[in-house]
Structure 1
Amino acid sequence: MSKKNNNKNGTFGYLLQSAGVESANFKVEPIIKTKISPNKPDKNSDSVDSWEKIKQESIKIKSSDKNTCNINSKKCKPDIGLKKDSSKINKNRLSKNKTKSNKNTHQNNVSQPPLDLSCYGSNDKKVKAINASSSLDSKPTIQVKISGAVYPNTDDFIIQNRNSRLKPSDSGINGNLSYSKNDEGVLIIGLDFGTSNSKIIIHDPQRTVFYAIPFFDIGVNDRYIYPSRVFLEKDSFNLDETGKCLSDLKLPLLNQSANDEDIYHAVAYLALLIRHARGWLFSNYSEVYRNVDIIWSLNLGIATATYEDSYLYKRFRHIALAAINLAGDSSEEITYDLVKNYLISTLRALTNFKYAGELKTHPDTVNVFPEIGAQVLGFIKSESWDDKNRPFIIMIDVGAGTVDVSFFSVQRKSGQANFSFFSNDVFFNGVVSLHKRRANWLKDILTEADIITPSINHFLDDIVSPSLNLKRIPESCINYLVNFDVKQTRTIDHDFFDEYKDRVKRLLVYTRRKRVPLNNDNWIKLPVFLCGGGSRMHFYKDIIEKLNAFEPSWLHLIPLSLGMPSNLRADGLSTTEYDRLSVAYGLSYEKLGTIISSAEIEDFSTQYLPRRELPINQYDDG
């Protein structure tokens, strides 16, 4: 059960006191202004069972006469003009949600005081932000077109595999195999902690080999990808789908308002992943590592904008350090109390270096790094990268919750990559956000048209449940339902895509005007990497074509792909799927390179531009 703390400073106030650190209240300006309210954990089986029922009902309707327009015995209304335009509907929904959110926030403040994380320091270094316009809403009057019985289109949704997790024979608790130690070596864990899924690669620099860690047996799709969810049975965390499913692990951590349990859940989850990874390695390569005294290192990936926020940077590093040390605890069960103990001990080590030696994994070997930089690391280390003639890159990483965009240069020096981030942005237009907006939009127009049924309403609720763990959603909002369409040329998809496109375009315009000089060679052949799970959708891919059509025609993006490295051991992984492991691969390098953040680069400064750009001092004025 959850451990609640009545200390006025919350759990981390208690951690500070336990660590002997004087706490202080302060207000941190969060880098992401959007407030994310953590979803209540769903029971593991409810949504999946409900989904199967909906699927069976859809099959029955599909097999019946499709020419009969019968929606719960109501007369079909083929062309229905809504009395309320969707912008008003959205405003009403937002108003209701805001009232509800304020009420919940008040209740949470009463039972759980705000966290005191003054050990992380205040966020004095302001990240240069690019102002975003408000959401573009649908145009008024939606006319619904119905060609038969409307029912859920379950065929266009694919659920992530629910195969049992591969259980290594070694527990992964001990960082070394229990044999005589004749050699010493370093193993680096690259951990890509995503909103919906996580990936791990272990790098052995002495043997120049990278191991992709599988979570499922050979033959299972996405065997190297594990859902970002942990289960809680009584007071013990597990990955074996036993107990309550806790699936909203990462997004709450991006806000200052993250509560005690958000941090506990993330630490427990990451510790269990690390145990799995080490257990798999020792189970399959015991002959290689039985006589090696291993020093473990961990690199955790975070968004570039998060990396530049000192408050969030320290939070994630603390979580990473607590997780890898918790993974090595001799207790097989990971409980709330055990998580709290490691948060205390690692905080003490981070705030007072004399305690660092008490940890199994030293703070010096645990770091966080921008995911986007890590993602291209393998590519820029290859001979195919021309850093002299093409020093700039734009990366668009489409994840489940967010889209992370960065414009940066990479220069290689003495075998090391030097990153200069000229501009970056992170915004909540990922696949899950699109999916939820679509479901809400469909509910609104179907309700206003008076044709929504209990089964459709239930379906639209179920498909946004995190525990359902969808692998694929339809390319269009219209495809969520069978025999359903709208007369308008614009839907919620057009509005959502415009938000996504405008944020990326705004970043490029800002960079051209104030960061990178007016040199058409940089802009007419600008390399772009579109990656992340969402990049497989044509919906998100279309941005390259749309941006290349931008007037005036000073921009032309050249899409590049990330080739699979030859030193990666990943049985069954296709080259087209490698990009999903590319962040973990880059993070597993021993030397990730130097970082110059956008906050360190002044507008119109040439200090961090590549050498060939230095004589140019002309910027775009419009």
Structure 2
Amino acid sequence: MGLFKFIKRLLSVSETSIKDSKQSDEVTVSAEIEPYVSPKKPATKQFQEGGQRKSTKLSWQMYGKNPTRETDIVIGFDFGTSCTKVIIQDGVLKKAYAVPFNGVGCAGNPYLLPTAIAVDYDGNLILGQGGELFDALKIKFLQNPDQSIGPFNGVTLTAAEATSAYIGLVLRKIREWFWQEKRSDYQGVKIDWQLNIGMSSRSYADKILKSQMERLALAGWNLTLKPVDEINVSEVKIAMVSADRQLSENIFDEEAQQLHPDNICSIPEIIAQVVGYARSPMRQDGMYLIVDVGATTIDVSNFIIHESDGEDLYTILVAEVEKLGASIFHNYRIACAETIIRKFISTAEAENFRQKALRTLGLAYDGIAPLPNIEKYFPALSREALRDYRKNNEEFMVECSRVVRKVIKESRFRRNPNSPAWQEGLPVFLCGGGSQIGMYKNIIPHAQKRLSHAAFSGFDQKQLPKPVNLETADIPPRDYHRMSVAYGLSFPCIDIGEIIPPGAVEDLVANEKILNISGYYVDKDMV
């Protein structure tokens, strides 16, 4: 089976003039498109809908009537395709905490929470495996927020409603952990909460989708304010109506502990991923590439980190997202293995393998754990069969490399051809849960080899540094990259800096010398 046909069948979803002609990464923003500008902290404006002071279990505040001090805490909510990761950060104490999801998180790593909800037999929406599972939330939301899903135990809901319910359930877990672990530190403290949620770099330019994500996050917060533990579809609908009113009138009920709409922000995940690096001693201004390998997609972005008047600027030049993530690779390998067994052994054995793979390998693999070793697919096949199998793996890797080369070609010859990084080496970060799989580690060397005739000196691969203020000893530095988006999201919007989307950056017409060498760039895989 061809790779393109396989991916199409598996999933149906698919995401400034550079003014100095010298060796520079400075950019000029087009006046026709307004870049993202971080909102200012809102003034309090209230409306009353009744309601009583929430119990300790359901309250976001513990200060009582006379708080001794006030602080800002930001929830960095990395809403991933396979798993969600959360880090909260105290802006006054400069301390960040990764939130574990004990009991409902992934086996072996409680900081990873499956992006799925279940409907129990009473029709309530819950986290975990206690009912009929509704997974692939993010994919379904990006496909069509209004599509109906279900029924699950008699419950039908839209992708938007399921996403909002999930956000609300996760926020409850965050609050529960916070008061269990940090209660003594924040007794008598008034907390001003903020919520930042990640989006893909490509989706970030979609203003409708961006607004929809912030609406669902606001509704999810509202679901945490209800006086009972259970969440059902009717309550989700009510929370969304309340969020719509807040957004249309730009209001909130502080007494009821609602968030002001301006305290919820959606931020490009790729930019959030490097915020920690941009604030570290390792930071160097200039152009970068980041390859984020998720469960379903790889997200490849080329951007510039620079500064203006003391504010960080993140200029996104090129962003590509394709369905070539770890779970796609896993399913592709199973499909290829079935074909090879059918060819070299028998149709009956191929069918037996497929059933076994679905029971043991396919279902066991959650888009997070390492891929099974190749010998588990082929315990007793010939060298010729193994050679065919490895060839299929190579084809998938080449397709991933093509996405990287596509981004490089676009930036090298159209978006930012005069960057010094083309001669000095382009810094690249390989991140995400799937990035530790051997096949994905080969993407960067393969792309560099194919780009050898593109007037490009190569990549300078770097590791994202674990922030010193992240108080989580059981996340080693080598694994921090999986939490890096959540960490970047845990800063106030006004402190992250200005994010300039690709549409606000005009192409640069390169000088003649650079244009003349473009003829040497010949790569059939880039056509």
Are 1:575 and 2:463 matched, yes or no?
A: no
TM-aligned CA deviation for residue 282 of structure 1: 1.1
Are 1:594 and 2:498 matched, yes or no?
A: yes
Hey, what does 2:199 align to over in structure 1? 302
The SS at the match of 1:423 is strand
Q: 1:6-34 deviations in whole A, cap 9, x for unaligned?
A: xxxxxxxxxxxxxxxxxxxxxxxxxxxxx
Q: Kindly tell me: are residues 617 and 271 of structure 1, through their superposed partners in 2, closer, same or farther at Cα, counting changes over 3 Å?
A: farther
Are 1:264 and 2:149 matched, yes or no?
A: no
- Structure-1 separation of matches of 2:339 and 2:132: 31
What one-letter code is carried by the residue in structure 2 that aligns with 1:184? E
Q: 1:159-211 deviations in whole A, cap 9, x for unaligned?
A: xxxxxxxxxxx986311126342322221000111111111111100111001
The SS at the match of 1:283 is helix
1:420 aligned to which of 315, 318, 342: 315
Hey, what does 2:410 align to over in structure 1? 510
Hey, what does 1:376 align to over in structure 2? 274
Q: Kindly tell me: are residues 439 and 186 of structure 1, through their superposed partners in 2, closer, same or farther at Cα, counting changes over 3 Å?
A: same
Q: 1:195-233 deviations in whole A, cap 9, x for unaligned?
A: 111111111001110011112389973222112122211
Are 1:539 and 2:465 matched, yes or no?
A: no
Are 1:242 and 2:146 matched, yes or no?
A: no
Tell me, yes or no, if the aligned pair for 1:441 and 1:492 is still in contact at 8 Å: yes
TM-aligned CA deviation for residue 334 of structure 1: 0.9
Q: Kindly tell me: are residues 249 and 467 of structure 1, through their superposed partners in 2, closer, same or farther at Cα, counting changes over 3 Å?
A: farther
Q: Kindly tell me: are residues 570 and 354 of structure 1, through their superposed partners in 2, closer, same or farther at Cα, counting changes over 3 Å?
A: closer
Tell me, yes or no, if the aligned pair for 1:474 and 1:480 is still in contact at 8 Å: no
Bigger-Rg structure (1/2): 1
Q: Kindly tell me: are residues 173 and 368 of structure 1, through their superposed partners in 2, closer, same or farther at Cα, counting changes over 3 Å?
A: same
The SS at the match of 2:164 is helix
TM-aligned CA deviation for residue 478 of structure 1: 6.1
Q: How does 1:284-433 map to 2 (within 5 A)?
A: 284-353=181-250, 360-387=258-285, 391-413=286-308, 415-433=310-328
Q: How does 1:445-464 map to 2 (within 5 A)?
A: 445-449=340-344, 450-453=346-349, 454-462=351-359
Tell me, yes or no, if the aligned pair for 1:172 and 1:275 is still in contact at 8 Å: no
1:182 aligned to which of 61, 65, 68: 68
TM-aligned CA deviation for residue 356 of structure 1: 7.5
Q: How does 1:599-618 map to 2 (within 5 A)?
A: 599-604=503-508
Tell me, yes or no, if the aligned pair for 1:171 and 1:276 is still in contact at 8 Å: no
TM-aligned CA deviation for residue 548 of structure 1: 2.3
Q: Kindly tell me: are residues 285 and 617 of structure 1, through their superposed partners in 2, closer, same or farther at Cα, counting changes over 3 Å?
A: farther
Q: How does 1:77-92 map to 2 (within 5 A)?
A: 86-87=1-2
Hey, what does 1:275 align to over in structure 2? 172
- Structure-2 separation of matches of 1:354 and 1:431: 42
Tell me, yes or no, if the aligned pair for 2:204 and 2:267 is still in contact at 8 Å: yes
Tell me, yes or no, if the aligned pair for 2:164 and 2:219 is still in contact at 8 Å: yes
Q: Kindly tell me: are residues 525 and 249 of structure 1, through their superposed partners in 2, closer, same or farther at Cα, counting changes over 3 Å?
A: same
2:99 aligned to which of 201, 213, 220: 213
Are 1:193 and 2:65 matched, yes or no?
A: no
Hey, what does 1:551 align to over in structure 2? 452
What one-letter code is carried by the residue in structure 2 that aligns with 1:394? L
What one-letter code is carried by the residue in structure 1 that aligns with 2:115? S
2:333 aligned to which of 433, 438, 444: 438
Q: Kindly tell me: are residues 478 and 464 of structure 1, through their superposed partners in 2, closer, same or farther at Cα, counting changes over 3 Å?
A: closer
The SS at the match of 1:599 is helix
- Structure-2 separation of matches of 1:505 and 1:572: 36
What one-letter code is carried by the residue in structure 1 that aligns with 2:289? I
- Structure-1 separation of matches of 2:318 and 2:139: 22
Q: Kindly tell me: are residues 473 and 452 of structure 1, through their superposed partners in 2, closer, same or farther at Cα, counting changes over 3 Å?
A: farther
TM-aligned CA deviation for residue 477 of structure 1: 5.5
Tell me, yes or no, if the aligned pair for 1:443 and 1:460 is still in contact at 8 Å: no
What one-letter code is carried by the residue in structure 1 that aligns with 2:225? G
Q: How does 1:88-99 map to 2 (within 5 A)?
A: none
- Structure-1 separation of matches of 2:363 and 2:205: 29
- Structure-1 separation of matches of 2:87 and 2:412: 36
Hey, what does 2:36 align to over in structure 1? none
Q: Kindly tell me: are residues 219 and 422 of structure 1, through their superposed partners in 2, closer, same or farther at Cα, counting changes over 3 Å?
A: closer
- Structure-1 separation of matches of 2:462 and 2:362: 34
- Structure-2 separation of matches of 1:353 and 1:501: 45
Q: Kindly tell me: are residues 282 and 560 of structure 1, through their superposed partners in 2, closer, same or farther at Cα, counting changes over 3 Å?
A: same
TM-score where L is the length of structure 1: 0.68
Tell me, yes or no, if the aligned pair for 1:475 and 1:537 is still in contact at 8 Å: no
TM-aligned CA deviation for residue 587 of structure 1: 0.3
Q: Kindly tell me: are residues 204 and 275 of structure 1, through their superposed partners in 2, closer, same or farther at Cα, counting changes over 3 Å?
A: same
TM-aligned CA deviation for residue 94 of structure 1: 8.9
Structure 2 stretches of 5 or more lacking a match? 13-31, 34-54, 149-157, 519-527
Identity of aligned residues (%): 26
The SS at the match of 1:185 is strand
TM-aligned CA deviation for residue 383 of structure 1: 1.8
2:392 aligned to which of 492, 496, 499: 492
What one-letter code is carried by the residue in structure 1 that aligns with 2:478? T
1:228 aligned to which of 106, 115, 120: 115
Q: Kindly tell me: are residues 172 and 403 of structure 1, through their superposed partners in 2, closer, same or farther at Cα, counting changes over 3 Å?
A: farther
What one-letter code is carried by the residue in structure 1 that aligns with 2:354? N
Question: How many positions carry a matched residue from both structures?
Answer: 457
What one-letter code is carried by the residue in structure 2 that aligns with 1:237? L
- Structure-2 separation of matches of 1:223 and 1:359: 28
- Structure-1 separation of matches of 2:118 and 2:389: 44
- Structure-2 separation of matches of 1:618 and 1:201: 47
- Structure-2 separation of matches of 1:508 and 1:565: 29
Q: 1:389-446 deviations in whole A, cap 9, x for unaligned?
A: xx11101000001111111101134553211011111111000111122222223333
- Structure-2 separation of matches of 1:475 and 1:498: 20
- Structure-2 separation of matches of 1:308 and 1:524: 30
What one-letter code is carried by the residue in structure 2 that aligns with 1:185? T
Q: Kindly tell me: are residues 495 and 476 of structure 1, through their superposed partners in 2, closer, same or farther at Cα, counting changes over 3 Å?
A: farther
Q: Kindly tell me: are residues 517 and 94 of structure 1, through their superposed partners in 2, closer, same or farther at Cα, counting changes over 3 Å?
A: closer
What one-letter code is carried by the residue in structure 2 that aligns with 1:546? H
Tell me, yes or no, if the aligned pair for 1:248 and 1:466 is still in contact at 8 Å: no
TM-aligned CA deviation for residue 315 of structure 1: 1.8
Q: Kindly tell me: are residues 289 and 513 of structure 1, through their superposed partners in 2, closer, same or farther at Cα, counting changes over 3 Å?
A: same
Q: 1:366-395 deviations in whole A, cap 9, x for unaligned?
A: 0100111011101111122121xxx11101
TM-aligned CA deviation for residue 244 of structure 1: 1.2
1:501 aligned to which of 401, 404, 418: 401
Tell me, yes or no, if the aligned pair for 2:319 and 2:407 is still in contact at 8 Å: yes
What one-letter code is carried by the residue in structure 1 that aligns with 2:499? I
Tell me, yes or no, if the aligned pair for 1:300 and 1:369 is still in contact at 8 Å: yes
- Structure-2 separation of matches of 1:372 and 1:409: 12
Tell me, yes or no, if the aligned pair for 1:219 and 1:572 is still in contact at 8 Å: no
